[in-house]
Chain A
Amino acid sequence: MTREIASSSPFGIGSKKFGMWLFVISDALTFATLLVCYTYLRMGSTGWPKPFAFSPSILFSTGMTLVLLSSSLTMVKAVHARQQGQRGQTVRWLGATMLLGAAFVGLHLTEWMHLIRAEGVTPWANPWNQPLFGATFFGITGLHMLHVTAGVIYLGVIAAGVPRGKWSAEDVEAAGLYWHFVDLVWMFVFPLIYLMSVKS
């Protein structure tokens, strides 16, 4: 049935996947605009802080990147398992993806708490007298963290319905598109916000 719908669509895919693609592209524009704003503000300010020491800050966020990258691989495996009709395997891989996603949020919050409590960086003030640093840092990473959290809930809803056959392979694939997108955004946040701000 999905195949019939697919062949009648000018894009060769079902409407759910197409809808998710359209959402992803509009969300990509939001993040692209935020990152350009961040770069613009940074270029336009003098004395922009570079607060992240290579060890431990950069190594810590590199660990977060590895976790998120690996969660994309487990998501690919979940999508493939559902395409082959292996529902048990699908739920297991979705569970692994959710665990990695939750680990990412946990690590990220640890880092936030350290910045807020130990280094005195908040969205409105910081020791370097450059409030825009906190505003852009917490704004961009916060919006991304919100996406990861929403993604973990989304995958939970999908994983709960897969065993009783509520979700088709296309539903799982649409969830995968969202998850990979969240990973994709981090591939730009990590270099621009962390690596460009390594303490020299």
Chain B
Amino acid sequence: MNIFHAVWIFLLSLTAVEVLLAYVNASPALMLAALLGLSGLKAVAIIAWFMHLKFEHRLLRWVLFSPLLVLILALLALLPDAARAQCVMCKRTAEAQNAERREALNRGIALMAAPPMFVLAAILFRARRR
């Protein structure tokens, strides 16, 4: 038994877990998240070992994954459209409030947005220094 047999067994086991999730009829949100995670792992195993990318030059990886990054960015453009259905209600409720409450809501949003923004800035700063 070599590494490729091990990868094959790994892929079969993850598939078994996925089918088990369908068998117990997990909730759609949990199922979608778990399936995408497991499928992502399977994809990495196939690309790294079966397709040998693990053993190729680093530059090849960059060339291959940059288009996927562009795709993800392009798909993010769809998000506002998908989220609009939920946002309309929030927006109407917020607009119906008086000026003082609207001000408080804005401060609240700014306060809650600050920590993730700081984390993102820290990551970008570290990435630049590397």
Q: Apart from A10-B57, A191-B38, what are 12 other A-B pairs with CB-CB below 8 Å? A: A12-B56, A25-B64, A25-B67, A28-B68, A29-B71, A40-B82, A54-B22, A183-B50, A188-B43, A190-B15, A191-B36, A195-B31
Contact digits for A65-100, partner B, Cβ 8 Å, 1 yes 0 no: 110011011011100000000000000000000000
Within 8 A of A (CB), among B50-89: 50-52, 56-57, 59-60, 63-64, 67-68, 71, 75, 78, 82
Q: Could you say which residues of chain A place their CB within 8 Å of the CB of B68?
A: 25, 28-29, 32
User: Is there an interface contact between A26 and B67, defined as CB atoms closer than 8 Å?
Assistant: yes
Q: How large is the interface on B (under 10, 10 to 19, 20 to 34, 35 or more residues)?
A: 35 or more
**Among the listed B11, B50, B67, which residue makes an inter-chain contact with A29, where contact means beta carbons less than 8 Å apart?**
B67
B118 interfacial by beta-carbon distance below 8 Å: no
> Which residues from B are CB-within-8-Å of A70?
8
Nearest 6 A/B pairs, CB to CB: A12-B57, A191-B35, A198-B22, A195-B22, A180-B50, A73-B8
Cα A76 to Cα B2 in complex, Å, equals 12
- Report Cα–Cα, A12/B57, bound state, in Å: 6
- Interface set of B (CB-CB < 8 Å, partner A): 4-5, 8, 11-12, 15, 18-19, 21-23, 25, 28, 31-32, 35-36, 38-39, 42-43, 46-47, 50-52, 56-57, 59-60, 63-64, 67-68, 71, 75, 78, 82
Contact A33 B71 (CB under 8 A): yes
If A29-B71, A72-B8, A195-B22 touch, whether A11 touches B51 (CB-CB below 8 Å) is: no
Mind listing 14 A-B residue pairs with CB under 8 Å?
A11-B57, A12-B56, A13-B56, A21-B60, A29-B71, A32-B68, A65-B15, A69-B8, A69-B12, A73-B8, A75-B50, A76-B50, A180-B47, A195-B35
In Å, the complex CA distance between A60 and B59 comes to: 41
Contacts of B64 in A (CB 8 A): 21, 25
- A contact face: mostly helix, strand, loop, or mixed: helix
Interface residues on A, range: 35 or more
Bound-complex Cα distance A72 to B8 (A): 8
Kindly state the separation between the CA atoms of A191 and B31 in the bound complex, as whole angstroms: 9
Q: Which residues of B contact A184 (CB under 8 A)?
A: 43, 46-47, 51
CB of B82 within 8 A of CB of A11, answer no
Question: CB-CB < 8 A to B42: which residues of A?
Answer: 187
Looking at chain B's contact residues, the main secondary structure is helix
Question: Do B32 and A58 touch (CB < 8 A)?
Answer: no
A126 within 8 A of B: no
Alpha-carbon distance A174/B21, docked complex (angstroms): 35
Bound-complex Cα distance A65 to B42 (A): 12
A:13-42 near B, CB below 8 Å: 13, 18, 21, 25-26, 28-29, 32-33, 36, 40
Whether B82 contacts A196 by the Cβ 8 Å rule is no
A62 to B11, CA, bound (A): 12
